[in-house]
Amino acid sequence: MYAIVEIAGQQFKVAKDQKVYVHRLQSEEGSKVTFDNVLLVGEGEKVTIGAPAIEGAKVTAKVLGHLKGDKVIVFKKKRRKGYKKKNGHRQFLTEIQIDGIAVGGAKKKAAAKKEVAADEAAPKKAAAKKAPAKKAAPKKEAAAKKAPAKKAAAKKEEK
């Protein structure tokens, strides 16, 4: 069983007992961490895709340690100009070990969709009833606006 999960803004394909290096997490060494943003779960031929995430699916992991990644050197140069700039960077990382992938809530998700669909249908009917009332009000205002214009035209003709 494997899963694609979003951890610290990046997506990782993980499996049980796998060690992964991720951007630094605010957790203590030896503590358990749970990631709820599971985008895909695959088990053999069966693949479940979330939109955007799978509800009820969780990936649990244990924090093994905090460390720094390899140094990356950024060197910029413009030839014949005398311009050279050297810069280095080491990323702070956290090593985690995946304890398990739990998929649940598939039945609850289907029931929740039916409830949401029923809730969305009721306000649409209410909005449809209110819409004609809104359309009728501007017509009265338009008739009231036309009447003063006629009076003004009549006054001009008298002069």
Q: Say what the pLDDT of residue 109 is.
A: 47
Domain total in the chain: 2
Considering the domain boundaries, does residue 115 fall inside one? no
92/133 same-domain check: no
Closest CA to 66 of 21, 99, 6: 21
What's the distance, CA 26 to chain centroid?
Answer: 21
SS3 89: strand
48/95 same-domain check: yes
Q: Say what the pLDDT of residue 104 is.
A: 83
Domain that holds residue 57: 2-104
129/66 same-domain check: no
20/86 same-domain check: yes
Q: Is 62 buried (19+), middle (13-18) or exposed (0-12) by CB count in 10 A?
A: middle
Considering the domain boundaries, does residue 110 fall inside one? no
Considering the domain boundaries, does residue 111 fall inside one? no
Residue 14 CA to residue 5 CA, distance in Å, equals 7
Q: What is the pLDDT along the chain (159 residues), one digit of tens a residue?
A: 999 999 999 999 999 999 999 999 999 999 999 999 999 999 989 999 999 999 999 999 999 999 999 999 999 999 999 999 999 999 999 999 999 999 985 444 444 455 555 566 655 555 555 555 555 555 555 555 555 666 666 666 665
